[in-house]
Amino acid sequence: MTMQGRKTGLSVPALLLALLLTPSLGLVGCASTPESGHSGAANRANLTTPIWVTNPPVQEGMAYGVGSIEALGDETAAVRRAGELARLDLVSQLRVTVSGSVLQDSSEYRSSGEETRVQQSMRLLARSQVPEVELDELRIADSDVYNGYAYALAELDRDAAASRMRRGIAEIDEQLEAYRLLADSGVSGPVLERLRELLPAVQLFAKRDAIAAKMALVSRDHHAPAADTDLVLLQQRIYDLIGEVRVVLVCRDNGARAVESSVLEALTRQGMKVASSGSGDLFFELDVESDSQLTQGSYYAFLNTRIIIRDNNGRALSSLSVRARGVSGIESVARQKAAEAVANRLGDELAKTLTERLR
């Protein structure tokens, strides 16, 4: 035993202790080695969120927005959704800083006179047909996943966006100037013929409004170029021409004749020049089937109406079917309300006809 102790340099008790500790040392070494394929996730879980999550960058002429969402399963989809939320956050912050009076609207073009239903419907219809003005300069500057959440930082170069939109407005103003010159050239003839020449300008005004509103949102001074006085007058002249359209109501059956006076009255209140006979620019042909029911003390009047809009050459421009309803404790009032509903549809259809089919 003495010789063995000298060869190894260890006493027996010490040797036994070393042998007992050897497996433990091996286990400790294995535990400290990360498993293949999981080191990134393990390290990422220990990271803190990016500084821009709580403190977005501040840079002159730039706007920023932050979006975050829990990353459940598909991290790529979560990052994409966080980017969408970041864009929304950026735009929302811009909207907070803009007063509603700053955003330019086509109401600035109109005179102080009251807008008729047809004029209003045409303006709103034209606006609805204008595509959304995109912010091409808005981009996702940074994004990643931290501690089970996806984060994204959106960035917008406000000066570049405003400059592009200013050029777009200038191009539209050049096109509108051509229509102004056309209107000033003294074009004569029937109202519809004059409108046919100028109505495309209504769509241009709507497009200009959309770009101006978005420019007022993103520009640092929250302003967009106002339309020249000549263009303001051009749009008013177009709306005045719309008001000059003479409509003749043609009742083709007894049902239509029974509600003729109520429809005429409602159309007149809308600002239309309407008559039941004579010459006109447009003709509204009506076929009406009426019905009424008494339910729990209230009268329900129904007007099933077939409408055809023709020009003064007899060409059909539009046709539609309307089921209008009126409710009142008095049967005649219920019928009148139903007739007013028919008149409202006529006004909207006239606006659609002028906007889409007359050109």
CATH of the domain at 267: 3.30.160.150
Is residue 209 included in any domain, yes or no?
A: no
Amino acid in the structure at residue 72: L
In which residue are the tokens 């293949």 written?
Answer: 36
Is 8:15 a contact under the CB 8 Å cutoff?
Answer: yes
Q: Which residues of the chain have pLDDT under 50?
A: 1-46, 99-112
> What's the whole-number average pLDDT of the chain?
83
Bridge partners (DSSP) of residue 307 are 286, 320
Is residue 168 included in any domain, yes or no?
A: no
| CA separation for the pair 100, 329 (Å, rounded) | 42
Is residue 278 included in any domain, yes or no?
A: yes
Is residue 346 included in any domain, yes or no?
A: yes
Number of domains in the chain: 1
User: What pLDDT shows up at residue 187?
Assistant: 67
Q: Report yes or no on whether pTM surpasses 0.85.
A: no
CB atoms within 10 A of CB 7: 7
How far, CA to CA in Å, does 249 sit from each of 59, 82, 159, 273, 351? 63, 56, 54, 11, 16
User: What pLDDT shows up at residue 24?
Assistant: 38
Structural domain boundaries enclosing 345: 246-357
User: What pLDDT shows up at residue 213?
Assistant: 94
User: What pLDDT shows up at residue 164?
Assistant: 98
Is 236:201 a contact under the CB 8 Å cutoff?
Answer: no
User: What pLDDT shows up at residue 174?
Assistant: 97
Amino acid in the structure at residue 89: D
| CA separation for the pair 178, 133 (Å, rounded) | 24
Q: Mind listing the pLDDT tens digit for each residue in 85-99?
A: 999 999 999 988 764
How far, CA to CA in Å, does 251 sit from each of 283, 285, 303? 10, 6, 14
Is 119:205 a contact under the CB 8 Å cutoff?
Answer: no
Is residue 266 included in any domain, yes or no?
A: yes
The 3-state DSSP class for residue 157 equals strand
Is residue 196 included in any domain, yes or no?
A: no
Is residue 163 included in any domain, yes or no?
A: no
Which tokens hold the place of 218?
């993103």
Bridge partners (DSSP) of residue 69 are 150
Is residue 101 included in any domain, yes or no?
A: no
